[in-house]
């Protein structure tokens, strides 16, 4: 069942970030945009490509007022080992620009509807949460295909835009700087008459 439009379930999880073990509570980030990046397991195959892609863009997300959290069923100790292991040995190469949280009870993955119960791991769920705690967007992939950090950024900017510009909506493939449309029949007609041939 979709989480979009609902309040994001709160959680308190231990994690690893910037050389330290810390406790992270989602409700502490009210007032900011948040991306939750669920992934199956550390030391696997597609997972490091996604985790590192979001790490490369973590500062860009922060400039947009958005924090990113990676979440898997691994413990904070496994997260530390994964971050600290060289890339050529299957690790993340010594640093990561956002926290990795340990959902060892699997309750957070279950709360967000991404727990693959037979396998005991999370699907590739990505949730964008607004500053008031509403889930604005979700993407869930099966295990074999990774997600796009660039598309996540596009969606963040689109949802930020419509939140800040009441009455406007973003058409398909909208990107920052492009024309939006008014959410009225007249606005749709005007947009389509100029953009659809």
Rounded distance between C-alpha atoms, residue 78 and residue 76, angstroms: 5
Rounded distance between C-alpha atoms, residue 174 and residue 165, angstroms: 15
66 is catalytic: no
Long-range contacts of 160-169 (CB under 8 A, 24+ apart): 160/33, 160/64, 160/65, 163/130
* Per-residue tokens: 32: 């900011």
SS3 label, residue 69:
strand
DSSP 116-160: ETTTTEE-EEEEEE-TTSBEEEEEEE-TTS---HHHHHHHHHHHH
Among the options 47, 114, 153, 181, which is catalytic? 47
Give catalytic residues, as residue numbers.
Answer: 47
């Amino acid at each position: 069942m979709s989480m979009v439009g609902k309040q994001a379930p709160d959680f308190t999880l231990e994690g690893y970030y910037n050389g330290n073990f810390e406790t992270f509570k989602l409700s502490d980030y009210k007032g900011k945009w948040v991306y939750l990046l669920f992934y199956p397991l550390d030391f696997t195959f597609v997972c490091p490509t996604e985790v590192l892609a979001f790490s490369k863009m973590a500062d860009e997300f922060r400039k947009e007022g958005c924090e990113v959290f990676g979440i898997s069923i691994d413990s904070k100790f496994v997260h530390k080992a994964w971050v600290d292991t060289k890339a050529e040995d299957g690790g993340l190469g010594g640093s990561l620009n956002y926290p990795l949280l340990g959902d060892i009870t699997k309750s957070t993955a279950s709360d967000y509807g991404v727990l693959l119960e037979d396998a005991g791991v999370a699907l590739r769920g990505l949730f964008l949460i607004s500053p008031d705690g509403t889930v604005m967007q979700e993407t869930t992939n099966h295990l074999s295909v990774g997600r796009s950090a660039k598309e996540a950024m596009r969606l963040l900017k689109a949802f930020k835009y419509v939140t800040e510009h009441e009455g406007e909506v973003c058409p398909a493939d909208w990107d920052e700087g492009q024309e939006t449309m008014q959410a009225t029949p007249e606005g749709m007609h005007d947009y389509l008459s100029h953009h659809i041939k």
